[in-house]
Amino acid sequence: MEDHKIVQRNLALQREWYGEPLGDRVRRLVVAFNVSQAQLADVLGISAPMLSQVMSGRRAKIGNPAVLARMIMLERKVLTPDVATGAPEALQRALDDVRESKPTVSRDNLPVNGDESVAYPVLRRVADRTELQHAADLLHEDFPAIAELFRRAIRAAGQR
């Protein structure tokens, strides 16, 4: 297959897997954080040449799930008020936080925000302890991760 067709196929796969070409996502981060591609690669935990290949479509995917998790973390940090101001110290703090993160990815979680406890008050507002336990029991076999989230919300309510 010639290079142009490989790149087009890879970009199509990126749209399918990531919602859009990774080059578009990376360029937005480079602009938002006012960093070079090499600096962004360092923050993400990927080599600069590998990031370049993914951006150009010469490679279809990011092989390390932790790198993708860090990219999503940065995309979410762009939406926070302190980073959105563009203040250099806020941008640097966000980059440092992501660089130092050690995300682990399993089939049950993608730790892009690191704190699921923000869901607990919402769950407790819409259901009492008995309802949450009943829902957890019903969901346990088919959706164990959701059932466990409900159980953690119940336990967190007991700790208040």
Burial classification of residue 108, based on how many CB atoms lie within 10 Å of its CB (0-12 exposed, 13-18 middle, 19 or more buried): exposed
Q: pLDDT of 36-80, one tens digit each?
A: 999 999 999 999 999 999 999 999 999 888 999 999 999 999 988
pTM tops 0.85, yes or no: no
Domain boundaries, the chain: 1-100, 116-156
**CATH fold for domain 1-100:** 434 Repressor (Amino-terminal Domain) (1.10.260)
Contact of 154 with 139, CB cutoff 8 Å: no
Q: pLDDT of 97-136, one tens digit each?
A: 999 998 876 655 444 445 666 777 878 888 899 999 999 9
Q: What is the C-alpha radius of gyration for the chain, rounded to an integer number of angstroms?
A: 19
